[in-house]
A and B are shown apart, each in its own frame.
Chain A
């Protein structure tokens, strides 16, 4: 497929004898937004971490633009530059200002001129409404603001695909919205994203495709999120979605 960005073939991951991911297959096309949902411990975070080679894998392969991503490969740092990742705990660098959190990797890793990196960082900060906080330190920001900065930090590297790992799970409810709005606007601009989330309303609104993961395997996959969330096909997905209903 010419539009293909990411292809995962027979991904198998074990840890100390426990199988965490079983024979996962997935193809992501450019501009596609894929949402991965599933119960805690189903392996969805591990799945994202494998794609970014933060975890060893025991079988299968991950191809970004046809090129393998492997933790032990020499070019792993080059590959990771093309894969943006935002974590649950926003993990900004506490000793750097917001602006320098964003420009550090573009300057030191991609060797872009400082002025150019800072200009782009400021434009991106403007877009997420945080341009006035550029000189502040992470500890001066709220969780929602830090998470928006973390998204900008990943974007500034011009990744081919963005992996979002439960980025609102550590946030107070009133801050969830401001972060998810940023993600929605990215989707409109055509960013390719793979999103792990517990926010079902958000998943339904943003997904081009939904993957339901349970016990380390894809139990249900749907390219019609509305239909999936209204009437899932498999009993396990039905049971999982039911846990979000209060009647």
Chain B
């Protein structure tokens, strides 16, 4: 059998570089996810607003996010804004803006779904106990929404982690890009590196996403 090409990772600081790239990917997704959750709760509340105008605007926002490939969004924000608005965004900032823009819409839709799945009678029984709308939301509706939301949002989080592989297109050196660099640099000495390095990258994504997805399954079971 031919060499699997994993040996290149043992050369020099290659493996450490790969880990640094992984951390870049995880950092971008962690920051985006954190902001998306906070803004997503607000977006979800707006999506269930009584005002038709607000609902339509939120719907348009969600559809734009869903229809537009994330890569196009990345290009618009990173390359587009530089010329038009004279902004000089760091690539990582641009990536976080795009992922947050996307995550907020998707999270908002999850929050909306969770909110409307709470039976009306829960609002009414809170009202019957003399709770104001704010108190009912805070003590009765929100805790139940969050319980329904966590398993769903964890799926979104893993999707976001995986999609960070796109940020190399705007020049961010994340795990996949580092992998490519290692493969290119060792083309002569280890021609099989493409297999070994990408396999290790795959394993790294798996090791990050799998525990997250297990956690979702466990929470889903506990709160069902």
* Residues in A lying within 8 Å of B, measured CB to CB: 52, 54, 77-78, 80-81, 83-85, 87, 89, 91, 93-95, 104-105, 108-110, 150, 153-154, 157
Contacts and interface: CB of A to CB of B under 8 A. Distances in A.
Interface of B: 119, 121-122, 124-132, 135, 139-140, 143-144, 147
A69 B176 CA distance: 65
A105 B143 CA distance: 15
A105 B130 contact: yes
Given A54-B124, A87-B125, A77 B147 contact: no
A105 B131 contact: yes
A53 to B, nearest CB: 8
A110 B119 CA distance: 25
Contact of B144 (A77, A83, A84, A95): A95
B129 A157 contact: yes
A91 B131 contact: no
B131 A95 contact: no
B131 A108 contact: yes
Contacts of B119: 91
Contacts of A77: 127, 130-132
A92 B162 CA distance: 40
Given A91-B121, A95-B147, A104 B128 contact: no
A105 B122 CA distance: 13
Interface of B, secondary structure class, is: helix
Contacts of A84: 128
Contacts of A85: 125, 128
Pick the most buried of B130, B131, B135, B143: most chain A CB atoms within 10 A of its CB: B130
B122 A93 contact: yes
A32 to B, nearest CB: 21
A80 B124 contact: no
Pick the most buried of B125, B129, B131, B140: most chain A CB atoms within 10 A of its CB: B129
Contact of A108 (B121, B124, B127, B135): B135
A80 B143 contact: no
B128 A52 contact: yes
B122 to A, nearest CB: 6
B143 A153 contact: no
Contact of B128 (A78, A80, A93, A108): A80
B130 A81 contact: yes
B220 to A, nearest CB: 15
Given A77-B127, A83-B128, 17 more contacts: A52-B128, A78-B130, A80-B127, A80-B129, A80-B130, A85-B128, A87-B121, A87-B125, A91-B119, A91-B121, A104-B139, A104-B140, A105-B129, A105-B130, A110-B130, A154-B129, A157-B129
Given A94-B144, A95-B144, A108-B139, A54 B128 contact: yes
A150 B131 CA distance: 16
B129 to A, nearest CB: 4
B122 A91 contact: yes
A109 B59 CA distance: 35
Nearest to B131: A109
Nearest to B129: A105
25 contacts: A52-B128, A54-B127, A77-B132, A80-B127, A84-B128, A85-B128, A87-B124, A87-B125, A91-B119, A91-B122, A93-B122, A93-B125, A93-B126, A95-B143, A104-B140, A105-B131, A108-B139, A109-B129, A109-B130, A150-B125, A153-B129, A154-B128, A154-B129, A157-B129, A157-B130
